[in-house]
A and B are shown apart, each in its own frame.
Chain A
Amino acid sequence: MAAHAAVPPPAPETGLLAEDRIAVATQWQLMWWRFRKHRLAAGGTIVLIAFYLLSLFADFFAYADPQESEAQRSLMAPQEIHWFDGGSFSPHVYALTGTRDPLTFKRVYVPDPAKKIPITFFGHGEPYELFGFIPCDRHLIGVSGAKAGESLFLLGTDMQGRDLWSRLMYATRTSMTIGLVSVALSLILGVVLGGISGYFGGWIDTVIQRIIEILRSIPTIPLWMGLAAALPPDWDVVKVYFAITIIISLIGWTELARVVRGRFISLKQEDFVMAAELLGCSKARIIFRHMVPSFISHIIAATTLAIPAIIISETSLSFLGLGLRPPAISWGVLLQDAQNIQALVISPWLLYPSVAVIVAVLAFNFMGDGIRDAADPYL
């Protein structure tokens, strides 16, 4: 060190600065720099923020009551928006007039180019309560001079004539939050059990590992199906929602526990943990003050990567009719309508909610990958 001071290394100015910057950066800053470089991850994050904003303000983005059905409007195709009217910008849709099909005598709705309904942005519409308590009636999109729920069908309607766009907004809220709630549950179970297993080792570890092994070797879907089918049919939407999140996290925690246990075992051998142990710190203090902070980034990565699997699980279960049930609205519930191939062939827009599923899952995977790479560039 003394010798070092005698001959200061005259590294070029910029190099020195760059090195200093790295030397004083915290673990989180380093992670953040690496994460920013990961373009797909940044894109994924932006998409996810958008999705969660959409969930938060679903009532604002929707313009119709998602439950209001009208058999005569069943399976209407997405409406075309006309942006210009005679050369000037004035977005509008054609009004729908009911006529009888001369062959089948069924009542059908056809657009009537003579009657134009102007589209409004941020206008008044159906009243709702923002966040459940702020009364409000502004919507992103609406129409003037008519009821939006009866004249605007951006993504068409489902079998029961409900507006698919508005339903999709509410479904996004359900499906995106089910991912969060369920991953939070898995996380608690995983961190606690994985931590205990990795920290104490011995027979406790063996028992927990066996339990994990057994749970993992049960084929998940039959297990979920069995559990979901066991939910009493008279439960209300909220109860079912929480029951499903619990069922899904029942398996999800094992993977997180595995990650946590692995980190615990490798950390136990690190010097700073041994030093803390020698200093006589209590076990809980060692775990929560010293060990958890040093692998929290891994947990965040594992958690992010667990959410898409949960979303897919919920969607699949609801699609089977075993997950959330109407009147709950989730992506899986919406896709149930697409089960009937004949219906799907004449009204392909029933498959549109799947785009939301795929985009959300992709975004979570990109973000999780970015976090993992940033947390541990050597993995």
Chain B
Amino acid sequence: MTSLSLVENGRGARAPSPAGHMPDAYLAVERVTKSYRGVDVLSNLDLAVGQGEFVSLLGPSGCGKTTLLRLIAGLIGIDGGQVLLGGRELTRLPAHRRNVGVVFQNYAPFPHLSVFDNVAFGLRAQRAASETIRPTVERFLSLVQLSHLVDRSAKALSGGQQQRVAVARALAVKPGLLLLDEPFSALDRKLRESMQIDLRMLLRELGITAIFVTHDQDEALVMSDRIAVMNAGRIEQFADPATIYRRPATPFVLDFVGSSTRFPGKVVDAKEGEVVVETARGRFRAPANFITGASVFVAVRPENIRLAPPGEDDSGLELTLVERIFLGPRSVLQLAFTDGERLSIDVPARLAEPLAIGGPVPLAWAVSDTLALPVQ
């Protein structure tokens, strides 16, 4: 896999490639395939999650995130491959024997039950000793801060409260794995942010392994130990948030997580750990392993670009300032190449002030911050 070529940077010891077979993984999804009417929604997907890990599945709508979760939970059948949890094969077990908890997208507390009975539901269904039910329910309701609503009817709650009931209900049975499918997407931003932090702390405290589905990159970056970026039924990269952001393995990951400036080109010189790429905007060095002649993208994250002439270990460009947009703490600079093509970057407002419209703007970035990604 060419995408492995970016590792040799001394930074990420973990392989940022799509997850391969990991024998000691707590949850192992192996070569899982699922298709609807002959169309593969998931194809040969592998995912290995360690015990106690919080993993986000990040990807655009329709890429198969919900399908993967439902498959792990046993709510839909599997067409090929297998799922193991703690060494136990789940693939042929019905949902109610898997001990895999689920929190759905648009909350689904039982509307005919009180908050208490919702949280007690799984304990009663699994015939927990009756004297343990009340203390357990009360403990989990206090963990999600709903103790004051214990006797309320579940459908009389707000969206955020309903989702807390759903979380408490799923946790009360001590699931071996908790799956969350965009649980906060219907909540407003402020509530969502506080629930993200609460949930993360709660799961860490309880040591619960969780897979959290989202299409919101910020949510994934904030909450996860590791992020699996999904695209069209496959995992493009599985790594910790910093690696995903700083060392995206594919152009898709680069685009989906954060913004960047990028130029297509060809590798004209390759030595151990570094390539030189010829693009329409000049030659750029990048830390990567490609063979000479390979088609690649050269990309830079905007925050790594400085307003300065390039130094020793830098690459650089000189553009013309067309427009300066003041945004308070930061300013957006509209820059133009000689052929008129535009590039916009945002910089601290103080640095933008001395620049004259129509004047030259030198840009520089470190070679070590330069990304080179295979064209797919």
A and B bind: no
On B, residues with C-beta under 8 Å from A are: none
On A, residues with C-beta under 8 Å from B are: none
